[in-house]
């Protein structure tokens, strides 16, 4: 029986629940501003109990293997898509939970960190996915401005194709851990007969040079 890595298992699940959508003719605009032949909606995961449970299990496994269970003292979810995953992880690990806002509300206490703030404790920022890393750095700065230690982040899916991302993360001294990337999804697509040649080629072209692919299709 053929066995798959955890990353391929995640890629397969995302495709099965249609969390990865494709449209080569009418590209999607990502939050980063780039155009893409695909849109990845990790929010769909929370609607599928078995997939949700498996993703939670693999995230905890990743924490144990790549960070160490004794390192993380505090879980922080990124508004809004990261909050459900952060809640699941915090519950399983029995750790304090807060979430970081993109911007303050115009009423109440105008807080950026909701929940308790634990100063000088090592936190783990959890989000659903990462494209070019800019939004993760924005969250990171807000967290560190509150004197919370944050050297690690985790996402379900990392595009891992934008050339400046790793440099951006390195400069801000944060390591982002992830379950699957475009490489895993593409390898899964190659084995799926339902994908036509045009879509497969365009996905490969996008993965090889996402900025060029996007620029060629902008008005």
Domains of the chain in start order, with CATH, are 6-215 (3.40.50.2020)
* pLDDT reported for residue 1: 45
Q: How far, in Å, CA of 16 to CA of 10, rounded?
A: 10
36 - beta bridge partners? 28
Judge whether residue 42 has pLDDT over 80.
yes
Please give the DSSP secondary-structure letter assigned to residue 66.
Answer: I
Average pLDDT over all residues of the chain: 94
The pLDDT assigned to 117 comes to 94
Q: What's the half-sphere exposure (Cβ side, CA atoms, 13 Å) at 90?
A: 21
pLDDT of residue 187: 95
Looking at 34-48, 103-117, 153-167, 191-205, which range is the least confident one? 103-117
Structure tokens at 218: 């902008």
């Amino acid at each position: 029986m053929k066995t798959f890595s955890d990353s391929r298992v995640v890629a397969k699940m995302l495709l099965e629940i249609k969390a990865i959508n494709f449209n080569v003719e009418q590209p999607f605009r990502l939050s980063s501003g780039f155009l893409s032949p695909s849109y990845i909606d990790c929010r769909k995961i929370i609607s599928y109990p078995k997939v949700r449970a498996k993703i939670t299990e693999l995230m905890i496994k990743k924490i144990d293997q790549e960070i160490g269970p004794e390192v993380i003292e505090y879980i922080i979810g990124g508004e809004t898509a990261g909050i459900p995953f952060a809640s699941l992880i915090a519950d399983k690990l029995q750790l304090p939970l807060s979430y970081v806002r993109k911007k303050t509300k115009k009423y109440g206490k105008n807080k950026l960190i909701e929940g308790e703030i634990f100063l000088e404790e090592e936190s783990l920022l959890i989000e659903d996915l990462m494209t070019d890393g800019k939004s993760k750095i924005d969250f990171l700065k807000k967290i560190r401005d509150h004197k919370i230690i944050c050297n690690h982040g985790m996402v379900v899916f990392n595009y891992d194709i934008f050339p400046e991302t790793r440099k951006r993360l390195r400069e801000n001294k944060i390591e982002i851990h992830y379950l699957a990337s475009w490489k895993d999804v593409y390898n899964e697509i190659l084995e799926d007969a339902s994908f036509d040649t045009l879509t497969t080629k365009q996905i490969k072209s996008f993965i090889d040079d996402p900025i060029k692919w996007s620029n060629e299709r902008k008005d």
